[in-house]
Structure 1
Amino acid sequence: MKTSILLVLTVIGGLIGWRASAQTLSGTVTDSVSHKPLERAVVCVVAQGRRDSLRVSTDTSGIYEIKKVPPGDVFVVVSFIGYRTQTRLLRAGTRGDLGNTALVPQVREMQEVVIEAPAIRLKEDTVEYRSDAYPVRKDAVLEDLLRKLPGIQVDQNGNITAYGRPVTKIRIGGKDFFLGDPKLATQNIPAEIIDKIQVIDDKSEQAKLTGFDDGEREQVINLSIKKNRMDSYFGNLTAGAGNDGRYLSAVRAFRFDQDQQLALIGGANNTNGTNITSGATTSGPPDNNAASMGVNFSGKLAAHLTLTGSYNYSTSHSITDQWSRREYFLDTSYIYLQDVHSDSRQQTHSIQMALGYGVGKNDTVIFRPSLNYGINHRQTANAFSFEDAAGDTTSQGTQAYSADNTSPNLSGTVTWLHRFGKPGRALTANVSAGPGPVRETDNNFSTNHIYTPSLLDTIWQTSDIHTRKQQYSASLNYVEPLGKNKSMEVSYNYNRNENLSAKDVYDISALNKSLNDSLTNSFDNVLVTHRIAVNFRQGNKKYNYQVGLGVQPTLLDSRSVIMDTPRTFRQPSLEVVPVASFYYQFSANRRIHFYYNGATQQPSIAQLQPVPDYTNPLFVAEGNPNLKPSFNHNFRVSYNDLDRLTGRSFFLNGYSTVQQNAIVSNITLLTGGKQVVQPVNIQGNYSIGSSYNYSRPFWGRQFTLSANGSLGYNQNVSLQSGVRNTGKNWTGAQGLRLMVTMGKWLDLTSEGVYTFNNSVYSLAATAANRVSSWAFRQEGRVDVIGDLSLRYTFSYTINENVPPGVSPTITLMSMVLEKRILHEKGILALSVNDLFDNAVGYSHGWGQGYTEDDQNTVMGRFVLASFTWKFQQIRAGAKMPGGVSR
């Protein structure tokens, strides 16, 4: 009996194994003449009587594998550009390894063939998108295009996130566009001029010069311009006005040729930007007047001289109102409530430049000066109160606060790169300096009435603060090749940061103004670091890895003078700083990246200064001169899998940070809810998380379905009156999005997102704090009749477990109706913002020992009429959009 059962199981297992093998085809594709493998050859399997097919492309070795081949007779079609296509009939049961298929070069003349490049491509540090694979409306800007790209999110404020990390720069042709302000590019550059979008996991300038990864990375977007927009200028002018005094004006002008780029961007509005003209809802403060003007230039000045630079001026005046509810978890829970009215005025001037000069064949010098000047005024009126766990008010008060400051900042960096005669051998030197004085005047008047025992705490003070920051650094890096695909780097870095702060505090009464000796102080902090490191790197086209180790001695030297009494603090330390990275490309479509680096985080001058700060009378901050630097172990891994034939994409990212000597706050609770906060070092803080994005177009890219999600865990250990308080916080999100594009007349995007935030604290007297929300959003464009178009954005948000006084639902909708005139050179638009007049914003966050809910007023309903005039001059012979030549 056992033998029979074993025989049956063996036969079944053999049939299952035969069935599995019968569903897979594999083989190689080569050139019949050179016998070299053909990468990216297309192999299709078509079942008889069916129109759809399975298809794959070969890897760098010409190898392919097709799984889940249907039963029965099938055709195998092998094709490659410039070669004769081969078709082979496979009878049912013929599966497995088909061996080699040798394609014969096509030598006869062919008729014109239109070949579409893949929508997405992978490179070592870059994901490249072909812009015309993601059609957008006429007159769309870069921001509209980015919203359609898999793995990229753009929030309502225009902030860009790529694969879970913020985008910090926009470049055109590899040159920075308005350094440090991506929104100037995303909200102004026309989408129609863009050929390709590259999302680059960019290395530091030092790493790009030496080829060695120092672990400092940022997400950067680089744009390439369509050839038919080179040697041309174009742009548009917009003006609009509406009810309640709403207005906007904007100018955008661009000039591109083979050697130079020039852009002029400016405007003024009180609509929180110009998003209203694109159908999106503005979400900023209800009273906000802003104006800006900027010029960006990049190009060759001479044969070996290049310049990239920008100047930007901006001014704004905004008034906001916000209600907050902060719930603390200490020995007993208590709640802090506040209503804040803020008035803020800002002016900034910014000049950024990069001047590169090639000295002969082997030497390059790059000079990067930077000048920023800001003038700021801020005043707030705050009404606050504290409640205990029973809901009884224990204290209440008011605060009137104002601050004026100016902050000029001048810095510069000079880099020299020398290449030796031996390939791969190079020497890089870098020197930088950056003084930055800041002057500020504060006025603070506050009263706090404590009920038990009855006490009135009053503060009326003015402060003059002078801060001078000076930073000097120098580095030397030498790279030596050790053989084929191997090299070693030896580096030395020196940094000196000096911060001098002088604060004069005066007590004010109805009769006089007197110096407060106990709060008046001067503090001089000098941080000096030396770092010696050795790195080894090896790799080829398929993989590379790097390991390195650095030693960093640090000296933190501080001197404080309080009441004419000097105090000196000295903190020497020695850190070992490792770095490692690994990259592997499984195929042309799949890759994995791993990074690790250790980094020190020095305490700020405010965290070191041993003097209480009564700027907020309820949260008195006092520095700790005995603080040690914290050290972060940072891990990050990313996996990308793309199908260039179907356009399917999958991005997976993971991260983790472990902190040693983390700088956290020790909070001591006093009578009436008053807190004294002092920074201390502690162990046990770490975070871990992951995110993913899956996208799949179908039906000729008319439909694209995307899913994205994230999950994170943070453990934050702090001190409450000297007792450890461990906070455990889970955050997560899951979204699903469907995009529909029907030619040029219909464009719809529907999205649903669920988010949650769960927090629990070891000292909490209450249960865990749980907040979640459902957000549904749809935006669309429909060409109604001829040149008449309708665009809209609709969102509906459900907030769960919100505190009393917070609206559980928020509904927002904005629309714009536009008519093209003057041969599409002019656009008349009628826009409405916040159709249902549901002007409210809500956010939930958490901090050390508390969770906070904020609700603020935003710009409500208004109607605005606008006119846009487009201008352009295309060089002779270039094709204009639509294929018409000039």
Structure 2
Amino acid sequence: MSLLTQAQTPGRFTIKGTVIDSSGTLLPSATVMLLTPQDSALVNFGRTNEQGELEFKNVKRASYLLKISYVGYLPYEQQVQPGEEAVVDLGQIQLKMLNQDLFEVVIKAARAPLSIRGDTVEYNAGSFKVPPGSTVEDLLRRLPGMQIEQDGTIRSQGQEVKRVTVDGKRFFGDDPKMATKNLPAEAISKVQVFNGKSEQARITGVEDGKQEKTLNLELKDSHKKGGFGKATVGAGTDNRVEGKVNYNRFNDKQQFAIVGFGNNTNQSGLSWDDYQDFRGSQSFNWGDDGDFGFSSGGGVRFVSFDDDQESLTIQAGRSSRDRGFTKNWAGGANYNYDTKKTKFSSNYFYNQTDQTLDVLSNRENFLSSGTFQTSDNNTRSNLNMNHRGGIRFEHTLDSLNTIIVISNARFGRGSSRYNSLQEFYRGENNLSTRSNINNNNRFNSFSMGNTAIFRHKFQKKGRNFAVSVGYNINNSDGDATQRSVNEFFREEGDSTAVINQDNQTVSLRTQFKASALYIEPLGKKFFWETFANFSLRQDEVDRDVFDISQEAQIRNTFLSRYYTNDFVYNRFGSSMRYSYKGFNLSAGLARVYFDLKGQFSQDQTTPEIGRVDRQFTRWTPSASLNYSMKNNKYLFMNYNLNVDEPPIRDLQPIIDNSNPLYIREGNPDLQPQANHNVSAGLSMFNPGNFTQFFINVYYAYYLNQIVYNQTVSQDLITTTRPVNISGGTNLGSYINYGFPLVKTKSTLNINSSIGFNKNLIYVNEILNTTNTDRYNVGLRLDLTPSDKFTLYTNANWNFSNTRYSLNTTQNQKIVNSSYGAEMNVKLPAEMYFSSRFNLNTFVNDRFGFNQTQPILNLSVYKIILKDKKGEVRLSAYDLFNQNRGITQYATQNFVSTEQVNTLARYFMLSFTYNMRGVTGGVRRRGF
């Protein structure tokens, strides 16, 4: 096995040897490591080849500790003292079998920095030094094969980590960042990375070949039997303040954790659920939903939209530091109880965000006869408060039967204000329309999802039965005021339209659902799966709109609507699965039935004025191949036809003029949309040298895709109406390649993606085809030469080329790039220095947009107090005072740029106290 291939240089030598057992049998794939004798720091690592040979080439001429580990054998250690020879041959190295007499010796032996067993990589956290007070996220950055993005996303072996557990238990649900950002690194004994099973495979007990990258954090014994945590307070310039606390108390069966924070420094922790609460929508995306069978969309997935288009515009997933000014309060608790038969997890979280946005956006819209420009200068204020809680209970009744109960609830309330000056131009200086908008909205919402799953394993191996029932409820109400003055400038004379309206909307959605799955083995390698899904959903929406005239309210019967909707979804399907030695092949077919019945009227007391009565039936095929090959290689291919019912709002023939210059109306003749999806990928990981490679390709073709056709009047009022259209496509690929330049010292990651999108839309009854080609190239270089110095650098280049069939002269080329570096230095006297620099550029020559944004953050801190429990930190954020939110994109028939005033330069002085619990020798019971 060759670990480094460069030629031998003076002052360096090679270490060789052959690993055998007591009978002389060669031991291939044994984990071998070179450590420094003084502190056991990892210098190099690898695995023996098929002949049991180890080889470290071109290492510095110094003393080393050689450690070898192999499953079922006693760990081996040997001092290596080089002389003047170029090669030190250790000959045959014999490992002893692990037996009961040697068990105590194994317990007392020093643990290896890392070990590799199959697809599991286990790191000894103590071998990778991080400064006192560091979080798990800081620790993960030091581990070979691990990568942490700036937004906290964790990647291992080139793939995103989907789940993080603590001692095998869930921590604050399934959000990986809750554990990595809040648990201290010093609490971790081991970090284990492996390919976990998919959620359906865990619930049904049937292997489906799908993998989910999972990271498990094993706590030290001392932290399993006592409390530990951290508290931080800080104050800065411009009245900036922040505070954060977390506390954890674990034992062998129970885990308890709390976390809380408050600040006015844009650290909101805004999640997708928070975003949905802002919008006042009704959406479930909590997982564990008990919908068995292969994915085909339909009734198992539904989304509802609020009626106020301007309630809030947020880019989910974008850093809150790039969006306005926020004041934030949040707190939560997590409790887990885990025994051999019973697993119980629960969490509660409260979040309050008060956000102010000052936005300037410019947009150029393309028509067949020319273009028009829109300028929008607006201010948005949003206050959102929400409570979220969830429990998951799993109990093994006996060896054959298991029940699972899941309940999630969310309650939110808030308000928003939207003030906007919009101007529409024909050409550069020909003002056509001006609109002053002042909208306010208040809402309350409550959502709950409940699922119960029963699983039965028959005596016959492989025969399984599972059934689930669920009940979901969504209830929301909101009050809105709409005030706008709209001026139209025409050659024949100017005119003004005023909107002065109040509206009240109350909506209730309930859903009952059930699912069943039966699996019959046909021999040892073939399995027959049959499943059925049923869902009954009922919607009731009451929207009252009032025109305000001389302080009197007059009901607007044209805009007010009361409607009900009953949606029945049935799916029955079957598939055949072949599974043998990591090779998993499945093909199936399902029949999907939709039945939509709805009616609407002006209010509950007036006669019906319209009805929606539609039935649809679709065949949905699915096929998948998953192959876990030897040497940590994994191949997957998937095909499915997804079918989704139209959103109920789009089906209702209701006109919505809440934005008088952008009017929406429904279409009761909509068909369900479908899309053919094909994807394939390959991942490879070499645990001997931590080289990783991942590639995937995907393609989607849309049938009856729901698009929003536009009709633009002479006054530049846009009216949209949803229709079905076929022919849209999405083709793309992603590649990631990473390898160590110098093991444990530096790692290089290269990634690239391409995408080709084709979107169709009618503008003034003329078909416009938008083709967008996107290219991305990224580099990441991590330098970790010692625990005293680390440097993480990255660069990304994004190119997009958008072409319009409607008006080819308006084709757009957009270039966005970003460069970043993060440096950490250990100074004398327990002092540390850290810095983060980002340079972002935004270029669109066609639109005359060219912006450069350098952001530099610096901090210096000192460890104080006994046992290094305290930290004093001085930080400078955005030293160049350049931070602002910038976005630009081109799609459909327009190109847009947006700039948002946001939190810029400030300084902060903070103090952190690390709470450490009892030592490992103290035994505690319970809490």
Q: Does TM, scored on the shorter chain, surpass 0.5?
A: yes
Task: For 1:696, give the aligned amino acid.
Answer: F
- CA deviation after TM superposition for structure 1 residue 167, in Å: 6.4
Alignment partner, residue 438 of structure 1 = 476
3-state SS in 1 of match to 2:179: helix
- CA deviation after TM superposition for structure 1 residue 400, in Å: 0.5
| Equivalent pair of 1:142/1:191 in contact (CA under 8 Å) | yes
Matches of 1:129 and 1:624, distance apart in 2? 57
3-state SS in 2 of match to 1:860: coil
Alignment partner, residue 203 of structure 1 = 198
State which drifts further: 797-806 or 389-398.
797-806
Alignment partner, residue 336 of structure 2 = 298
3-state SS in 2 of match to 1:606: helix
Alignment partner, residue 679 of structure 1 = 722
Alignment partner, residue 255 of structure 2 = 261
Match of 2:349 among 312, 323, 327: 312
Alignment partner, residue 541 of structure 2 = 501
State which drifts further: 554-563 or 443-452.
554-563
Go from structure 1 to structure 2 and tell me whether the alpha carbon gap of 1:281 and 1:631 turns closer, same or farther (over 3 Å shift). Answer: closer
3-state SS in 1 of match to 2:459: coil
Alignment partner, residue 133 of structure 2 = 139
State which drifts further: 827-836 or 589-598.
589-598
Task: For 1:289, give the aligned amino acid.
Answer: K
Matches of 2:755 and 2:53, distance apart in 1? 37
1:473 aligns with 2:513: yes
Alignment partner, residue 609 of structure 2 = 566
- CA deviation after TM superposition for structure 1 residue 568, in Å: 1.8
Task: For 1:486, give the aligned amino acid.
Answer: F
State the Cα deviation string for residues 72-103 of structure 1 (Å, max 9, x = none): xxxxxxx9855999xxxxxxxxxxxxxxx999
Alignment partner, residue 250 of structure 1 = 244
| Equivalent pair of 2:113/2:127 in contact (CA under 8 Å) | no
CA RMSD of aligned residues (A): 3.7
1:864 aligns with 2:908: yes
Matches of 1:119 and 1:393, distance apart in 2? 69
Matches of 1:201 and 1:768, distance apart in 2? 45
Go from structure 1 to structure 2 and tell me whether the alpha carbon gap of 1:703 and 1:710 turns closer, same or farther (over 3 Å shift). Answer: same
Match of 1:272 among 253, 266, 275: 266
State the Cα deviation string for residues 242-298 of structure 1 (Å, max 9, x = none): 1211111111111222211111101111112299xxxx9972445311111100011
Alignment partner, residue 182 of structure 2 = 188
Query: 1:438-587 to 2 correspondence within 5 Å?
Result: 438-453=476-491, 454-562=494-602, 564-587=607-630
Alignment partner, residue 234 of structure 2 = 240
| Equivalent pair of 1:282/1:859 in contact (CA under 8 Å) | no
| Equivalent pair of 1:317/1:345 in contact (CA under 8 Å) | yes
Go from structure 1 to structure 2 and tell me whether the alpha carbon gap of 1:170 and 1:55 turns closer, same or farther (over 3 Å shift). Answer: closer
Matches of 1:235 and 1:265, distance apart in 2? 9
Alignment partner, residue 425 of structure 2 = 387
State which drifts further: 579-588 or 288-297.
579-588
- CA deviation after TM superposition for structure 1 residue 610, in Å: 1.1
1:176 aligns with 2:219: no
Match of 1:786 among 821, 829, 832: 829
State the Cα deviation string for residues 649-676 of structure 1 (Å, max 9, x = none): 1222222222221111111111232111
3-state SS in 2 of match to 1:873: coil
State the Cα deviation string for residues 532-586 of structure 1 (Å, max 9, x = none): 1112222233322222221112212221224744322222111222222212233
Matches of 2:728 and 2:592, distance apart in 1? 23
Alignment partner, residue 683 of structure 2 = 640
- CA deviation after TM superposition for structure 1 residue 213, in Å: 4.3
Alignment partner, residue 427 of structure 1 = 465
| Equivalent pair of 1:163/1:692 in contact (CA under 8 Å) | no
Alignment partner, residue 330 of structure 1 = 367
Go from structure 1 to structure 2 and tell me whether the alpha carbon gap of 1:561 and 1:65 turns closer, same or farther (over 3 Å shift). Answer: farther
Alignment partner, residue 23 of structure 1 = none
| Equivalent pair of 2:268/2:353 in contact (CA under 8 Å) | no
Task: For 2:198, give the aligned amino acid.
Answer: K
3-state SS in 1 of match to 2:183: coil
Query: 1:148-159 to 2 correspondence within 5 Å?
Result: 156-158=150-152
Matches of 1:859 and 1:162, distance apart in 2? 33
Alignment partner, residue 828 of structure 1 = 872
Alignment partner, residue 725 of structure 1 = 768
Matches of 2:537 and 2:121, distance apart in 1? 37
State the Cα deviation string for residues 800-855 of structure 1 (Å, max 9, x = none): 22677856110111111101111310001111111111131211223332222111
| Equivalent pair of 1:438/1:467 in contact (CA under 8 Å) | yes
Match of 2:889 among 836, 845, 855: 845
- CA deviation after TM superposition for structure 1 residue 329, in Å: 2.2
Matches of 1:408 and 1:249, distance apart in 2? 29
| Equivalent pair of 2:801/2:812 in contact (CA under 8 Å) | yes
| Equivalent pair of 2:818/2:841 in contact (CA under 8 Å) | yes
Go from structure 1 to structure 2 and tell me whether the alpha carbon gap of 1:442 and 1:583 turns closer, same or farther (over 3 Å shift). Answer: same
- CA deviation after TM superposition for structure 1 residue 405, in Å: 0.8
| Equivalent pair of 2:666/2:721 in contact (CA under 8 Å) | yes
Matches of 2:874 and 2:692, distance apart in 1? 38
State the Cα deviation string for residues 173-205 of structure 1 (Å, max 9, x = none): 443322364443343222343422547576234
Matches of 2:118 and 2:426, distance apart in 1? 57
Alignment partner, residue 755 of structure 1 = 798
3-state SS in 1 of match to 2:715: helix
State the Cα deviation string for residues 108-157 of structure 1 (Å, max 9, x = none): 9999986746577774xx88777668755443324445566788776555
Task: For 2:828, give the aligned amino acid.
Answer: I
Task: For 1:326, give the aligned amino acid.
Answer: R
3-state SS in 1 of match to 2:178: helix
Alignment partner, residue 590 of structure 1 = 633
- CA deviation after TM superposition for structure 1 residue 238, in Å: 0.8
Matches of 2:845 and 2:140, distance apart in 1? 32
Matches of 2:95 and 2:912, distance apart in 1? 53
Matches of 1:600 and 1:282, distance apart in 2? 34
Matches of 1:715 and 1:137, distance apart in 2? 50
Give the TM-score normalised by the residue count of structure 1: 0.84
Match of 1:231 among 225, 230, 242: 225
| Equivalent pair of 1:255/1:261 in contact (CA under 8 Å) | yes
- CA deviation after TM superposition for structure 1 residue 482, in Å: 1.5
Alignment partner, residue 742 of structure 1 = 785
| Equivalent pair of 1:666/1:678 in contact (CA under 8 Å) | yes
3-state SS in 2 of match to 1:876: coil
Give the TM-score normalised by the residue count of structure 2: 0.80
Alignment partner, residue 861 of structure 2 = 818
- CA deviation after TM superposition for structure 1 residue 698, in Å: 3.4
| Equivalent pair of 2:666/2:722 in contact (CA under 8 Å) | yes
Matches of 2:684 and 2:704, distance apart in 1? 38
Count of paired positions: 811
Task: For 1:318, give the aligned amino acid.
Answer: Q
Matches of 1:722 and 1:347, distance apart in 2? 43
- CA deviation after TM superposition for structure 1 residue 219, in Å: 6.9
Query: 1:29-48 to 2 correspondence within 5 Å?
Result: 39-41=28-30
State which drifts further: 250-259 or 813-822.
250-259
3-state SS in 2 of match to 1:329: strand
Go from structure 1 to structure 2 and tell me whether the alpha carbon gap of 1:743 and 1:860 turns closer, same or farther (over 3 Å shift). Answer: same
Task: For 2:226, give the aligned amino acid.
Answer: S
Matches of 1:539 and 1:491, distance apart in 2? 19
Alignment partner, residue 20 of structure 1 = none
Matches of 1:783 and 1:102, distance apart in 2? 41
**Structure 2 segments unaligned to the other structure (5+ residues):** 1-17, 34-42, 58-67, 78-90, 270-317
Task: For 2:267, give the aligned amino acid.
Answer: G
Go from structure 1 to structure 2 and tell me whether the alpha carbon gap of 1:596 and 1:875 turns closer, same or farther (over 3 Å shift). Answer: farther
